[in-house]
Every structure is written in structure tokens, then in C-alpha cells.
Amino acid sequence: MPQMTTNATDPMIGRMIDRRYRVRSRIARGGMATVYLATDVRLERRVAIKIMHGHLADDQAFRERFIQEARSAARLSHPNLVGVYDQGAEDDTAYIVMEYIPGITLRDLLQEHHALTPEQATDILRAVLAGLASAHRAGIVHRDLKPENVLLADDGRIKLGDFGLARATTANTATGAALLGTIAYLSPELVTRGAADSRSDIYALGIMLYEMLTGEQPYKGDQPMQIAYQHANDTVPPPSASVPGVPPELDELVAWATARNPGDRPADAREMLDHMAGGAPRATGQYRTAVLRPENATAILPSDGPASQTPASFGSAPDDDATDATTVLDRGAGATAPRGRNQPGPRRTGAQPGVLSPAAQRLADKSAKRRKRGWIVLAIVVLLAIVGGTIGWVYGPGPLGNVRIPEVAGKSITQARQLLEAQGLRTATTTGHRFDAVVAKGAVSTTKPAAEREVRKGTAIQLVLSNGPRMIALPAIVGQPESTVTAALDDDFEMQDTRYQFSADAAKDTVIAATGRDASGTVDLGTATTYAERGPVTLTVSLGPVPDVVGSTVDDARTTLTGVGLELGTQDAKYDDQVPAGQIISASATDDPAVQGTTIDVVVSKGPAPITLPDVHGKTINDATSTLEGLGLKVSVPDCTNILCGFYDWKATLPVQSTDPGAGTTVHRGDTITLAYEQ
């Protein structure tokens, strides 16, 4: 899966998808989606993630087709197919997570070398057929086979990917006005009817084989419809017509795979693969190949002695043309066929029995020479086989053979030396050193040459020891925006899942804390100045303060809290003289610090507490006033109109006759009570 130049303005670069996949760079862009190189932070491995284009996300048909790709590919598991790991959606964007294959595509190889050798083309075709056979066996048609979808890994693996147009073989209805797939590889039935099955994939493979052998596609045109017309009406020419030297077997294979009638093609990839392996003969079709046995055989008949000569009583001269004749035997007739006048036997010239004619003698001499040469050739072949076998053993399992360097990363020096010696290799006297974020300090980090390389037995292998991880200076972290910190740390460290919590002291989306881990335990990266390369980093990011819902109604508080990921918890009620009934008096989080999902418990006001008005009848006005005001009530006393009231403290003397409202009435703090008295 070759990489392309990363678009620096691509907003996906650096983004964390589903809190698991960190997008690193862009690999390729297609009609439906863009493929990125990403890191699965959970499993610490590189993956390829295909993300649907934003302008297609609102199209339900495209979304369903994109999901169908993931489901189709996920059903398949084969060494020659790109694996699918995961599928999901985030912010209305659908994505597929696939196996990352570093290398090039078949298209890149063709652009570099133009045409391939028959051996190279056959090797690639076998690998593609093996993977496609697995898909066909599962009932899946690829529908978009082309060199761009054949991946050639750096380690030699060949994989078929991009089941973007794949669907079940039973779903072979027309696609509508638009033909899916690349026009250069469309089968005639897709062009004319818009229908496809496994034989349509075989047609595309035949076109690919032609292109691998010749370096060009069989049909060309300025407009797509011109190429489509040729697919529907013309016959693909043999590759040898363009490139002399292409074996006739490959000409035949191209013709079989690209037959215009689907019934004349292999039924599926398995049939074509078996034919290439010689495991199954071709059953039908005009391109059948067979080796026919001759109906007649030619032989020199041995002499039958004097009795075989023509008797003198025939009265005829010897027939020179019949002497030493060559007889054609009917198949199955053998050497005992009857001889008559019309079937003369071989004759000898001369009267002595056992003396061969000159022609027969020459044949006998040649036969003897051939037998002698045959024995010589056999002796040479046997000798060469013995020499070849000896050389093969010496350079194979013998002392001069090649061996594969074992993987010794993470081993101690002693363990690594033992593994190398077990393979017939030596350990170099000097060791190298390098920083290694994975292997502990002092253990073997790698070897020179690297592991899995084939070298001659007895080769000295240098051990490269780990100096431990490289220490890298840390930038400012706490108080900085999350995006800034992530961009600064992502290239050098392994970012773990970010933690989010509410904080009254930090603005939303700013980093509150950062922690790491080393041999001594947890490391506070907010105060540290350096940290080990590729070390794990966990950020704690602020969600802002918990919303203040005091004074709000319960419904308004629930809406506010839900909007930031919090939940409304218990709702206790109490009387409050200051807060109106129905409003929240106080709120408290059940977790400290609060995180998304935390429950917020509230206390709701029931308004002022009720008071039963006491009986103050008979008390002086001052005493009654003191009693009622002590309960939080207001007291109203009408002015005394008696002229005598001006000469003494009438409120301290005159008794209360009644109250309004009357005694026993339920009132509330702040209510006004009017006192009545006799003047």
C-alpha cells in the first residue's frame, strides 16, 4: 500500500478517530474515500484507514455501499487478501480499518518496467487468483480488479485489496445508468447488461495478464465509450502478437479468460488456478489443448531368415524397392501382421543366413552407436546428478549453505550468541549500540545484518545492544490547548487514550495534567523536563467548569447538564425563605473531579416554611408583636384614636382582642398580621 505525499492542509492528519486510531499521513485518494496511514493506539500497530469523502457522507446509498465493502471484505481471510480489522462511524463519517501493506502496486511496477516477463506475470497472476478464489468461494465478486488494487509488499507478499465494489454473487442485477468499475477492465456483460458474476472478475484478470505481458491494455480510445464498445464487440488479441516470445500457453490463457461469452470462460478463480497448476483439464471451449497419440507407428521388422524370401517358383525377379522395406503397422497390429504379395517383408541380399543387407547393417550400426551414446549420456547425467547433489548439500544443509539469521531482539548477549551458533553463525567480536524505545538497556536491540536475512554459514554477526530509550526534551504541557500538546508529542511518544474531566480552574480543551510511566512508576510530565522516546503519555484535559444550575428549574437544569455529558441525580426538596418554590437551592457532583457521566444531585426549594398563627389574645400589644415577629411575621397595629393614649404607653398596657388572620391559621414568614384591641 504505497504512500503518497502528505497533504499538509488535510484536516484529518493528526486526528484521533474513535479515540483509537491516530491518523499520521495520507496514502491514496479514490473516488469514494481517502486512505490514510494510522496508528492503532490500543494495539500499538500501524493500520490503513479508509475514510469516506465528506460530500458523500449524506448520501445514504453511498454510505450503505461503503458499509457493504467492510462487511464483504471482513468475511474473507486469505494470505493473498488485504485483511479488514474494524469498521465504524464518527461525526457522520464512515471508516474502515485495514491491514497496512508497505510496498507498491502492480500499476507502479508496470509504470517502472513497462512489461513483465512471463514468469513474473504468472507468479503475480497465481497469487491474485488464490486470493480471488477465496472470495469467490465465499460468494463475493470483486468487480473492480485492476493493477491499482494488486499490492506488492516490500517483503514479497502479493495481496488483492479494495473490495470497494464487492457484492454477493447472487446480487447480479444491473447497476443502473452508471457502470461501476474501471472501463479498461469491464467485461462485455457489464458493458451491455450492467450485470456481473465471478466470470466478470476472470475477464478483468485476463486483461490484466495481457497488460503485464505487453505493457499496454488491449483496447484504447479517446472516449470511455469507445473502449467499452471494443470490450463488447472485439476479441482480445494474443499477447504474442505484440511481444514475440510470449509462450502459447499464456496466449491461450488470455483468450480463455477474455472470451466474450461468459460461458466460455473459467467459472471462477479456482478453476483458472487449478488449470494453471495442471490439476484439472479444461472441460469445454474452442481453446482446448490435448496431446494426441498417432494412429500408426513406424518400425523396422526383424529378418525371418531364408523362409521369408520370395520363393523362386513365383518366377519373378527380385523387387529392389521391396528390399529392406519399412513397414507401417496399424495401431495394435504388432509385429505379427500376416504378409502377402501386397505386403512384402524385408529381404536380405545374399545367400548366407544371418548376413544383413547393407541397408539393414547401416541401421544396426546406427542403433549400436545410439545405444553407446545413450549409455555415455546416462553416465554423464548420473555423474552430474551426484556432483550437483554434493554441491547442493555443501551449499544447502552442508557447511557452506545459507541460513536465515534468527530474531534475537530482546535477548541477552548469551542467549543471542547461543541462537546464532545453533544456526551455524558466529558472533562478531565487537558490538554496536543504539537507542531503543522497546528493548531494555543492555539487551540485544538488533543485529547486523538484520534478522531474517539469509547469509552463508560461518558469517560473523554483530550484536547491536540497546542503550535504552532516547531521552527527549518535553515542551510546555499543562495549561496548553490539547491540539497543541498532541501535535508536539505525537511523533516522539505513544499517546494513550485522553482523560477528560470538569475543572473550575482550567478553560475547556486545555491540558490539566500529563502522566507517563517508566521503570520507577508513574511520571508527572507536567513538571518533568525530559521523557523516554516512545514512552506512553496520558493527557488529562479540562471540560470546563460544571455548569451552575442554582436558581434554575429542574427541567432547565436537566437540559443544561445533559448538554455537557452530565446526568441529573437526586432531587431533594426543602423550605427556603429566600429561594422561590421550584428553583434549585444547591447542586453537588457525586464524583470529584466530575467527568462525563457523573451525576449531579440537587436540592429544590419548596418556598418559605408554613407557620401556624399562635393565639395572642389577652397579651399586650407589645408582647403579641414580639411573639409574632419572632416567628418571622410582620405585625400591623392600628393607631389609637383615644385622647388618653397620648398620656401613657398604651401598647404596653392595652390587651389584644383578636388577630387578622385568626389564631390557628397557616401563614408564612413575611406575612402581615393585624392586631385588634379595645381603645
Residues involved in catalysis: 144
Contact 217, 184 (CB under 8 A): yes
Q: Is 647 helix (H, G, I), strand (E, B) or coil?
A: helix
Q: Is 437 helix (H, G, I), strand (E, B) or coil?
A: coil
Alpha helices of 215-268 — where are they, by DSSP H?
A: 224-233, 248-257
Is the peptide bond preceding residue 593 cis, with omega within 30 degrees of 0?
yes
Ramachandran category for residue 19: left, alpha or beta (phi over 0 → left; psi -120 to 50 → alpha): left
Residue 302 to residue 356: CA distance in whole angstroms? 10
Contacts of 406 by beta carbon, 8 Å cutoff, 6+ apart:
419, 420, 422, 423, 451
Q: Which of 281, 286, 221 is nearest to 260 (CA)?
A: 286
Q: Is 232 helix (H, G, I), strand (E, B) or coil?
A: helix
Q: What is the DSSP letter of 600?
A: E
Taking CA atoms, 411 is separated from 442, 588, 664, in Å, by 9, 55, 92
What cell numbers appear for 606 in the block?
A: 419548596
What cell numbers appear for 579 in the block?
A: 429561594
* Phi, psi values for residue 420, rounded to 5°: -65, -45
Contact 163, 139 (CB under 8 A): no
Residue 189 to residue 263: CA distance in whole angstroms? 11
Contact 282, 289 (CB under 8 A): yes
What count of other Cβ atoms lies within 10 Å of the Cβ of residue 630? 9
Contact 203, 258 (CB under 8 A): yes
What cell numbers appear for 294 in the block?
A: 498417432
Contacts of 14 by beta carbon, 8 Å cutoff, 6+ apart:
22, 23, 24, 483, 486, 487, 490
Q: Which of 562, 631, 627 is nearest to 599 (CA)?
A: 562
What cell numbers appear for 386 in the block?
A: 551426484
> What's the first-to-final CA gap in the chain, in angstroms?
107
* Phi, psi values for residue 277, rounded to 5°: -80, -5
Residue 522 to residue 33: CA distance in whole angstroms? 41
